[in-house]
Structure 1
Amino acid sequence: MRPLGRAYQTASLGFLLYKLGTLAVNALAFPVLKASSPLPAAPTVSILVPARDEAGNLPHTLPRLLSQGASEVLVLDDASTDDTARIAAELCAGVPGARLLSGQPRPPGWHGKPWACMQLGQAATGEVLIFTDADVCWQPGTLNALLRRLEHSGADLLTVWPRQETRTWGERLLAPLVDDVLLSILPAPIIRLPFASMSAGNGQLMAFRRASYHKLGGHALVKGEVLEDVSFAAGLKARGGRVALCLGGDLMSVRMYRDYRGAVSGFAKSLHAVHGGSRAVMAGSWLWHFAVYTLPWLRGRWLLTGLGLLERLLVNLKTGRTRPADLLEVLLTPVTPLAALPVYLLGWRRTYRWKGRAYSRKDRP
């Protein structure tokens, strides 16, 4: 074997073994939300839902939120162009503490979601503020489990990754990558360290202690950020706060996208920011993943191919995605970099649109 080929194989093997080692640690150390009894002296809770064009999701998810027993449930209609406002108002009608808010025009310098969340945070009265996306599905008892976990962790922010629900093969090509990035890059004990650079956050579910949230200025801290969730967690850590992470387990799930095209558009929105605002890093990232996961399969290097499959399998086992179709998607691992190429190409553009709004990307030095 030539020196270049030997170096490539050694680097690929080392990368995969590192990720498998990290997965082994996280299999034991990464918390999973569990059903639990209510706290003896539970705090008041505000469940806060930013909603823009969510008419397809709210009939399925909002009734579950309303049945959790929170002090209040606030839904903010963020200038939707569909029936979001009507559906939310009808579902909230007659439920104590539940109401619909009309979003105000977005100020200059703000991205859509941080501004919607900022308005919700200002209107909320609970001691615990739980921001949850409109497509996240809560099971009965989820609120008790969240409060128990927040209390146990002693954190200022608890952020949760719901279980990925995928129904089409187009979704299965990309959506599970969220879990792989979370569980195979950094061991949970390292993420818990009080270093802002070792931060993770998921805007699908972020539960704050009210005092900590307002001490930071609310979502004004991340008003212009695409990755507002990760930035919020890092900003909180940088100011001495504590962040706790958790998987949703059987209590919380999300179907992020309905097909491959939707997944491409959704992931492309944040890909540039995920890579530190550098197009060079983006290009290197795609080439590296192609070299590690696809090239060995094309060239019949079965050790590397098998390790890549094992990585994906371990992620599925940890997140509880163990239905037959979920396990079969492990076989998609070698073609995932090819399926992700349109995401990178779309993420390369300097402008993009998300939910009808135009944004621009700025490269960082």
Structure 2
Amino acid sequence: MMSATTRRLVSFALGTRPGERATTAGAASGVVGTIALGYLTYRALTLASNAGGLHRLGDGGPADVARTSPSRRYRISLLVPARDEEHTLPSTLPLLLAQGADEVVVLDDHSSDATARVARELGARVLTGEPLPDGWIGKTWACQQLADAVTASDADGVGEDGGADEREHLLVFTDADVTWRPGALDELVAEMDRGRTDLLTVFPRHRVGSFGERLMVPLVDAAFVGHAPVPVIRSRRRGALAANGQVMAFRRAAYELAGGHAAVRGELVEDVRLARRARDAGARFDVVLGGAAIEVRMYDSYAAAVEGMAKSMPGLHRESRLVMVGAAAWFLMTYTLPWLLPATPLVRLVRALGLLDRAAVNLLVGRTRPVELAETLLGPISPLAVLPAYAKAISGRLTWRGRTYPAARRGWRP
């Protein structure tokens, strides 16, 4: 027989009085609410852990220490793969050029616009991308060409005194739409020095403009800061690693130890795969938030967000359509379905926790303006908004900026 405490818990879950039979709707509320409560409790504990374990650049703290110019301690190459970015570069590239790196190199990846001309006029060194070889993804090929171009000259490097440049070489890959605020590179280098890190990946703070972006883009933050505690991400535990190709800073030796982008040439989530190779080869890995120092506007519309997120979904879901279907259903059950079920005490608790989850994510990553915190209210409909991206990824019709990408390789296998 059930104890009195157990009966009270069951009644709480089903929304009934002790001894009262539950309706079908009440039973559904109990099942959904119990599962969602367990998941949201895990996320709450993870977010609490990460609030103390994730450093934000630009917010002071351990990395904000006295330091010499990074260009004096390292040879730093800022490497920018760019495809159809003529409208983005005028706002981001001047800030990148002002960071004090030894060189800023932009690779024009077969743009259909004036990307190369704009980058050259702004003062960057510009490379013209070679044709895409079989078996490569566009970004991995662009990044490998950038790395090859700047490392080929290492042996001939000349220091400020006219002698050989023996400084350690840092390769910093950054997307063209990433905004580097003044001093951001100094903070990044100081963070690498503080942790003696061989690979540092940065999750920039997101800027959004349209309503559709507010529905979609915060899900990227939610997936990162809530999926696993930082100590687990930093560990060598298989599958727990998180990385972001928008900003990845390598010591050259670590990049070569991982095999460079050539080792992940056909991967849509090349950032995670490359970071895992580096970590498994013995490189010291860390992850930080961009905070006030490094920001990005990933997409400029809801349609662009759907297309861009769909491209990445197979790689983030084990290349399995079945896993993608399960993930979409899970998010709907946790954040949307409770608002459609009878408002039992458990369901009301789950609704509140779902909203608090969204607010906590924004606070953790530094998106604290009133309009950003108000995005909390969009939490119940965001899983609906992302369904077209899941549908596109599951169908296999993946395109981005005129290129077609491979579908989930595992099909309907888990």
Bin the TM-score by the shorter chain.
over 0.9
The range that moved more, 279-288 or 52-61, is 279-288
CA distance in 1, matches of 2:47, 2:134: 42
CA distance in 2, matches of 1:322, 1:72: 34
Question: Does the 8 Å CA contact 1:195/1:238 hold for their aligned counterparts?
Answer: no
For 1:45-72, what per-residue CA distance to the aligned partner results, in whole angstroms no more than 9, with x for missing partners? 0000000001111000000010111011
For the pair shown, the structure with the greater C-alpha radius of gyration is: 2
2:91 maps to 1:67: no
Pairs within 5 Å for 1:29-44? 29-34=53-58, 36=64, 37-39=66-68, 42-44=73-75
Aligned to 1:7: 31
Number of the residue aligned with 1:161: 203
Shift of 1:156: 1.4
Tell me the secondary structure at the aligned position of residue 56 of structure 1.
Answer: coil
| Amino acid in the other structure paired with 2:314 | H
Deviation of the 1:4 alpha carbon? 5.8
Cα pair 1:39 1:148 within 8 Å, conserved? no
Match status 1:121 vs 2:147? yes
Q: Which residue of 1 aligns with 2:374?
A: 328
Aligned letter for 2:90? P
Q: Deviations over 1:292-318 (max 9, x none)?
A: 111111223321111000011111111
* In the alignment, structure 1 residue 242 sits paired with structure 2 residue 284: yes
**Is the CA contact 1:196–1:235 (under 8 Å) kept in the aligned structure 2?**
no
- Tell me the distance in 2 between the aligned counterparts of 1:90 and 1:38: 32
The 3-state SS of whatever aligns with 1:348 is helix
- Show the 5 A alignment for 1:42-121: 42-92=73-123, 98-121=124-147
Which residue identity lines up with residue 17 of structure 1 in the other structure? T
Whether the 8 Å CA contact 1:74–1:101 is kept in 2: the answer is yes
Partner letter of residue 361 of structure 1? Answer: A
2:257 touches 2:278 (CA, 8 Å); kept in 1? Answer: no
Matches within 5 A, 1:175-194: 175-194=217-236
Where does structure 1 lack aligned partners over 5 or more consecutive residues?
93-97
1:350 Cα deviation from its structure 2 partner: 2.2
Correspondence for 1:95? none
In structure 2, which of residues 174, 180, 192 is the aligned counterpart of residue 132 of structure 1?
Answer: 174
Q: After TM superposition, give the deviation of residue 141 of structure 1 in Å.
A: 0.3
Counterparts of 1:252 and 1:136, CA distance in 2:
7
Q: Give the TM-score of the pair, scaled to structure 1.
A: 0.95
Q: Please give the alpha-carbon distance, in whole angstroms, between the structure 2 residues aligned to 1:293 and 1:198.
A: 23
The answer as to 2:386 corresponding to 1:340 is yes
Letter in 2 for 1:113: K
3-state SS of the aligned residue for 1:250? coil
Q: Alignment partner of 1:124: what SS?
A: helix
| Aligned residue pair count | 360
Q: For residue 154 of structure 2, what is the aligned residue in structure 1?
A: none
- One-letter amino acid of the counterpart of residue 327, structure 1: L
Identity of aligned residues (%): 48
Stretches of structure 2 lacking an aligned partner (at least 5 in a row)? 1-13, 15-21, 152-167
Q: CA deviation at 1:5?
A: 4.7
